Chains A and B, each alone.
Chain A
């Protein structure tokens, strides 16, 4: 299949390994990762084994991926992305939460980037989306993912990727919002779960770390 070939080529180019022993989730799974490059969801997608990859859909920014027909085709038909507008005005009418839940109900796992934008060197504060999603569907499995070096392979604003080696770490699932846990606490907890996977590369300094 073409998808398997593309996944193989992405792994070859970025040096990221296939996570062959990844377990299938009991219900549906949300992969949430740090965001530093447009390559991010491509690499997560490529590192999953076929049985998981086939029903994993990235949640991506509509503004970027709908810019020209080529990108639209890649996002919509190749990766089967759920495209969500980032512009707050468009967001209200697009019902991002509803669309994500609909995708989950259709049997897909989702890849989300709770920072909402690409950051460099640290993990910015998480936007509320993950909290709302996990509150509405407490049966979801939330898996933190750490991506390293991808922002050096394809930084913000660059077109040509460098053939450097990236690294991906999948963590153990974190619990959904607990009884009495507020939104900020949940978001901070999940953010620290991603940081913990970086084994010291990212520091858990002030959550107000600015993005580049």
Chain B
């Protein structure tokens, strides 16, 4: 994975941008002295360095490293989500199953890869198990609401997020063994889209898009920031299996899906009475605050790409032989 020169070039590019960002921040603080905005900026840039290091390290560990990394991220995101989403003692056992069985098994299916089970383990089996276990625990107070919250958390933090590492398993003609760049591309474009929308919003933002949901999302931020991110994404077409126009279109799709994902998670956060999902990342909030734009972007990008290259995942990634043999004594 790390031997791919284009991937190293991408990583090098990000390092270069972060070096510039660090230098600019230092310069601004040197000139203007420390104030809350600059302190926040410094924290944000430092956090970006760490995130890039951790993400890069997971790529260096290969396929399993990436799946393990995202399993951990899902775990942390789900943890933040369920901490803020009140659950009574009646749901304790259900949640234990979710954290310690449902989540790892899902990532196991993704890692194998067994596409069929990856696709249905959560939306069918987990979604049925969750209300059943809670019903058996006997607490019927606000039952539907509690079940729905847990299901939503599992759907977004585990299922949707796992589409990102699953990109490694898409068999794209002419792109074999290079899928790591595609994962990098999605993360890069969604995060740059966040940053661009934030910056352009601060500079030119005037018309709030959804004032009740988010005080910082503006029409100008989305249009100019989104356009900038789309162009940047398009300019990376050479690292993707797409042509330049296709890369532009996919970048625009990522920008839109990222924006909508961030908007929805803001609405969810607000309904839970919180400003941030956690305090894990100084300057950014929690893990989920960083991932919220990826949550909707990953599954949409995965399926659109799969459709674009007419890959048939069910045929290409079926139940592996060793699992079939494990299960045969029972099936006969």
Q: How far is the CA of A162 from the CA of B85 in the complex (A)?
A: 14
What residues of chain B lie closer than 8 Å to A162, measured between beta carbons?
Answer: 82, 92, 95-96, 99
Majority DSSP secondary structure for residues of A touching B: loop
Q: For chain B, which range describes its interface: under 10, 10 to 19, 20 to 34, or 35 or more residues?
A: 10 to 19
- For residue B83, CB closer than 8 A to chain A, the reply is yes
- For residue B278, CB closer than 8 A to chain A, the reply is yes
Selected contact of B278 from candidates A151, A152, A165, CB within 8 Å: A165
B97 to chain A, nearest CB (A): 10
Q: What residue of chain B has the Cβ atom nearest to residue A154's Cβ?
A: B92
Q: What residue of chain A has the Cβ atom nearest to residue B84's Cβ?
A: A165
- For residue B89, CB closer than 8 A to chain A, the reply is yes
- For residue A158, CB closer than 8 A to chain B, the reply is yes
Majority DSSP secondary structure for residues of B touching A: helix
- For residue B63, CB closer than 8 A to chain A, the reply is no
Selected contact of A164 from candidates B79, B89, B93, B280, CB within 8 Å: B79
B229 to chain A, nearest CB (A): 32
What residues of chain B lie closer than 8 Å to A152, measured between beta carbons?
Answer: 87, 89, 92
Given known contacts A160-B96, A165-B278, is B89 in contact with A149 (CB within 8 Å)? no
- For residue A15, CB closer than 8 A to chain B, the reply is yes
Q: How far is the CA of A187 from the CA of B115 in the complex (A)?
A: 61
- Restricting to A148-198, which residues have a CB under 8 Å from any CB of B? 149, 151-152, 155-156, 158, 160, 162-165
- Restricting to B50-88, which residues have a CB under 8 Å from any CB of A? 75, 79-80, 82-83, 87
Q: What residue of chain B has the Cβ atom nearest to residue A152's Cβ?
A: B87
B246 to chain A, nearest CB (A): 41
Task: Say whether B92 contacts A164, CB under 8 Å.
Answer: no
Task: Say whether B92 contacts A15, CB under 8 Å.
Answer: no
Interface centre among A17, A149, A152 (most CB of B within 10 A): A152
Task: Say whether A164 contacts B96, CB under 8 Å.
Answer: no
Task: Say whether B83 contacts A155, CB under 8 Å.
Answer: no
Q: How far is the CA of A146 from the CA of B99 in the complex (A)?
A: 27
What residues of chain B lie closer than 8 Å to A158, measured between beta carbons?
Answer: 89, 92-93
B191 to chain A, nearest CB (A): 24
What residues of chain B lie closer than 8 Å to A160, measured between beta carbons?
Answer: 96, 100
Selected contact of B79 from candidates A17, A151, A163, CB within 8 Å: A163
What residues of chain B lie closer than 8 Å to A156, measured between beta carbons?
Answer: 89
Task: Say whether A155 contacts B95, CB under 8 Å.
Answer: no
Task: Say whether A15 contacts B87, CB under 8 Å.
Answer: no
Q: How far is the CA of A156 from the CA of B92 in the complex (A)?
A: 11
Q: What residue of chain B has the Cβ atom nearest to residue A155's Cβ?
A: B89
Task: Say whether A15 contacts B89, CB under 8 Å.
Answer: no
A8 to chain B, nearest CB (A): 16
B141 to chain A, nearest CB (A): 13
Given known contacts A155-B92, A158-B92, is B80 in contact with A163 (CB within 8 Å)? no
Given known contacts A149-B83, A152-B87, A155-B92, is B278 in contact with A163 (CB within 8 Å)? no
B146 to chain A, nearest CB (A): 13
B238 to chain A, nearest CB (A): 41
Interface centre among B75, B80, B92, B100 (most CB of A within 10 A): B92
What residues of chain B lie closer than 8 Å to A17, measured between beta carbons?
Answer: 279
Q: How far is the CA of A100 from the CA of B87 in the complex (A)?
A: 37
What residues of chain A lie closer than 8 Å to B96, measured between beta carbons?
Answer: 160, 162
What residues of chain B lie closer than 8 Å to A149, measured between beta carbons?
Answer: 83
Q: How far is the CA of A158 from the CA of B96 in the complex (A)?
A: 11
Q: What residue of chain B has the Cβ atom nearest to residue A162's Cβ?
A: B95
Q: How far is the CA of A162 from the CA of B75 in the complex (A)?
A: 11
Could you list which residues of chain B lie within 8 angstroms of chain A, going by C-beta atoms? 75, 79-80, 82-83, 87, 89, 92-93, 95-96, 99-100, 278-280
Q: Could you write out 12 A-B pairs with CB less than 8 Å apart?
A: A17-B279, A120-B89, A152-B87, A155-B89, A158-B89, A158-B92, A160-B100, A162-B99, A164-B79, A164-B82, A164-B83, A165-B83
Per CB-CB distance, the 7 closest pairs between chain A and chain B, nearest first, are A165-B83, A155-B89, A164-B83, A160-B96, A163-B79, A162-B95, A158-B92
Could you list which residues of chain A lie within 8 angstroms of chain B, going by C-beta atoms? 15, 17, 120, 149, 151-152, 155-156, 158, 160, 162-165
| 18 further contact pairs, Cβ within 8 A, besides A160-B96, A163-B99, A164-B82 | A15-B79, A15-B278, A15-B280, A151-B89, A152-B87, A152-B89, A152-B92, A155-B92, A158-B89, A160-B100, A162-B82, A162-B95, A162-B96, A163-B75, A165-B79, A165-B80, A165-B83, A165-B278
